[in-house]
Amino acid sequence: AQSVSQHNHHVILSEAASLELGCNYSYGGTVNLFWYVQYPGQHLQLLLKYFSGDPLVKGIKGFEAEFIKSKFSFNLRKPSVQWSDTAEYFCAVRRPNAGNMLTFGGGTRLMVKP
Amino acid sequence: NAGVTQTPKFRILKIGQSMTLQCTQDMNHNYMYWYRQDPGMGLKLIYYSVGAGITDKGEVPNGYNVSRSTTEDFPLRLELAAPSQTSVYFCASSREAITGELFFGEGSRLTVL
């Protein structure tokens, strides 16, 4: 079983719709959390990250994510999507006390219709 | 800036053939990684390196080998290609492990027939 779960594999939205992509992890203890994005034909790039402090993290291009420790979740949100947000989104978890390597979720492919 | 460069971008292999995926970075990063990406499975770590001369296995190392003779280069070798190795391979680098920010190459799509 995957230790980082993204339950929505494919999401289709119209422009201006609100977005929420789920991410859950199964690790206890301290975790660092990340969202990466892969636009069509491009390499993966960091969207935002959470290490500590305010659980609501703001990233690039109007994205934000909320860390809810009690739910082991780090969902990605955007109030109003654009066609240019069409991409694949990956959640990733790093465990500082377990090798520091990133473990990625299965990805969510988002298509935004113009 | 070049960042992380992978070659080739596409390759078709026959079962049993061998090949090397090249990866080079010009950011003087200590950490380098090889991932494979399969549909719906996310990215799985194959091998990683924390510096020149040091490599270690990730989640799915079987069938692959790596070397790290310089800071810049981190080639991935497939000795006896199998259909299960059909995938998209990504090389990445980071200055350190703590920040978790990886810089990725554009990927290499490998098909084994």
Contact between chains at B90 and A44 (C-beta distance less than 8 A): yes
Mean pLDDT of the residues in chain B: 92
Phi, psi of B68 (to 5 degrees): -145, 80
Q: Which residues pair with A35 in a beta bridge?
A: A48, A91
Residue of A6, A34, A105 lying closest to B100 (CB–CB): A34
Write the pLDDT tens digit of every residue in B31-41: 999 999 987 78
Write the pLDDT tens digit of every residue in B40-53: 788 999 999 999 99
Is the alpha carbon torsion for B50, B80, B104, B44 positive or negative? negative
Write the pLDDT tens digit of every residue in A27-68: 888 889 999 999 998 889 999 999 999 999 999 999 999 999
Residue B95 in this model has a pLDDT that exceeds 90: no
> Which tokens go with B30?
């200590």
The pLDDT of residue B101 is: 84
Rounded to a whole number of angstroms, the distance from the CA of B43 to the nearest CA of chain A is 6
CA B30 to chain centre: 15
Q: Average of pLDDT values for A11-26?
A: 96
The pLDDT of residue B16 is: 96
Contact between chains at A106 and B40 (C-beta distance less than 8 A): yes
Residue of B100, B105, B107 lying closest to A102 (CB–CB): B100
